[in-house]
A = this chain, B = another copy of it.
Amino acid sequence: MAALAPVLDALDKNLDESLDRLFDLVRIKSISTDPAFKDECRKAAEWLVEDLKGIGFEASLRETPGHPMVVAHHDGPAGSPHVLFYGHYDVQPVDPLELWHDDPFTPAIKTGETGSKIITGRGTADDKGQLMTFVEACRAYKQVHGALPCRVSILFEGEEESGSPSLKPFLDANADELKADFAMVCDTGMWDAETPAICVGLRGLVGQEVTIHAANRDLHSGEFGGAAANPIRILARVLADIHDENGRITIPGFYDGVEETPSQILKSWEGLGETAETFLGPIGLSLPAGEKGRSVLEMVWARPTAEFNGISGGYEGKGFKTVIAAQASAKVSFRLVHKQDPKKIEAAFQEFVRARIPADCSAEFHPHGGSPAIQLSYDSPFLIKAKAALTDEWNKDALTLAMGGSIPIVGDFQKFLGMESLMIGFGLSDDRIHSPNEKYELSSFHKGQRSWARVLDALTK
């Protein structure tokens, strides 16, 4: 068995070089949802293929109808487990650009608001910094021992931030190649800057764009105001109807499959000391906006939501225009829990909207992906080993948590490859992912690499 200590030493010694590599990757503007950045997405994939080849992986770029996948394999000692590591090289759009303190694609080391060293730039936390922690751990193993402690496959996709349209067909077509004993997914976070965590529950997601069409052209509000349908008014009515006065969602059948969280679990979450003040205070809020009578952690970890992610219609420029628009649109997403069915939620939402549209207007829908929620088993041996490894590295008990976000890949691995996933990551809640001024803690990047080295070591024991 390959010794762990020299691998950890190598990671400490090579931190600067690993930062150079991360910076190279962050500089590539791989915004997957915007077609203007298609070439940049490919460039990020090519960069990863070359880097993995340099380590000694058999790595290749795989075409899809969208952005390419990166697949890599490396063998391990006979009898060792086979793990599939997943990450994504694409990033969120950067608007509003004027709110960034620095160019989002010019990474830098800075001192953060809490005094710690941070790595700034779009994708540093979500997910380039995270995936590179694993790559660096593999690199150090190879450098020190010329081998990995177990058999490792890697899958990096480029469409995670845009609904992963190519992922399911790719998993389906390459199931034999990608199937491993279990997956490791690095898209999650720590409880806080000192406390590592493994995530066992994830909310699902349904994304829908709805456009209300009214008149066949924009109208003057003096000429037609009062008589002609206003699509913004119709849209506002639809959106306002989705929540009742207690924050509950009114779409018929929406709560089908939602289970009440066991009281002992709720109690353990209460023990974490998170309150409305501690959770919402840092973002300038104080009043939980979800279902009355539930804690903020329950709201984000174990309750479904309807959120309006974008809205537009009519004149949005400077000044004023007395126009009645021909159409108005909203991007709506639902976070799902437990056994809620994405397809049924999508259909129920569309029915709900149509029931509120006047007969001379119409509603048009564009789907933006859907995935059910995930609830993993608490007693997997891999989970127990990984928890111990994280506890060793951080010198603090690793926690078992749920998460409010969606990582559709975890459900897809279950469905297409019959694999469970270990969700381990080193992000923090103030990393501003999806927002201006995204950052990743330097300690997350460094100790994250060391953590993966320990986890790989633990899995072989």
Binding site for B on A (CB under 8 A): 33-35, 92-93, 95-96, 99, 161-163, 203, 205, 207, 209, 214-230, 232-233, 235-237, 239-241, 243, 276, 279-280, 283-291, 296, 299-300, 303-305, 307-325, 328-331, 333, 335, 358-361, 368-369, 403-406, 429, 432-436
In contact, A288 and B227 (Cβ under 8 angstroms): yes
In contact, A222 and B314 (Cβ under 8 angstroms): no
Using A220-B433, A311-B312 as known contacts, say yes or no to A287 and B235 having CB atoms under 8 A apart. no
In contact, A226 and B290 (Cβ under 8 angstroms): yes
Q: Indicate which residue in B223, B284, B319 contacts A300 across the interface (CB closer than 8 Å).
A: B223
Chain B nearest CB: distance from A42 CB in Å?
17
Contacts of A207 in B (CB 8 A): 320, 322
Chain B nearest CB: distance from A456 CB in Å?
28
In contact, A236 and B233 (Cβ under 8 angstroms): no
In contact, B240 and A236 (Cβ under 8 angstroms): yes
* 13 sample A-B contacts, Cβ–Cβ < 8 Å, listed by A number: A33-B317, A161-B321, A215-B284, A220-B435, A221-B307, A222-B300, A223-B433, A226-B291, A227-B280, A227-B290, A289-B358, A310-B325, A311-B312
Using A205-B322, A218-B434, A284-B215 as known contacts, say yes or no to A303 and B226 having CB atoms under 8 A apart. yes
Interface centre among A232, A320, A330 (most CB of B within 10 A): A320
In the complex, what distance in Å separates the CA atom of A319 from the CA atom of B333? 13
In contact, B225 and A305 (Cβ under 8 angstroms): yes
Contacts of A300 in B (CB 8 A): 222-227
Return the chain B residue nearest A302 by Cβ.
Answer: B226
In contact, A285 and B226 (Cβ under 8 angstroms): no
Contacts of A436 in B (CB 8 A): 217-218
In contact, B432 and A209 (Cβ under 8 angstroms): no
Contacts of A161 in B (CB 8 A): 321
In the complex, what distance in Å separates the CA atom of A285 from the CA atom of B291? 39
In contact, B434 and A220 (Cβ under 8 angstroms): yes
In contact, B239 and A243 (Cβ under 8 angstroms): no
Interface centre among A284, A291, A311 (most CB of B within 10 A): A311
In contact, B215 and A33 (Cβ under 8 angstroms): no
Given A205-B322, A226-B300, A232-B330, 8 more pairs with CB closer than 8 A? A34-B318, A205-B222, A226-B291, A287-B360, A310-B314, A310-B315, A310-B323, A311-B311
Interface centre among A240, A288, A310, A330 (most CB of B within 10 A): A310
Nearest 3 Cβ contacts at the A-B interface? A222-B405, A33-B319, A216-B284
Contacts of A315 in B (CB 8 A): 93, 95, 309-310, 331
In the complex, what distance in Å separates the CA atom of A82 from the CA atom of B162? 67
In contact, B227 and A299 (Cβ under 8 angstroms): yes
In contact, B221 and A319 (Cβ under 8 angstroms): no
Q: Indicate which residue in B92, B236, B320 contacts A369 across the interface (CB closer than 8 Å).
A: B320
Contacts of A224 in B (CB 8 A): 283, 300, 404
Q: Indicate which residue in B209, B283, B323, B358 contacts A217 across the interface (CB closer than 8 Å).
A: B283
Contacts of A33 in B (CB 8 A): 317-321
Q: Indicate which residue in B93, B314, B328 contacts A321 across the interface (CB closer than 8 Å).
A: B93
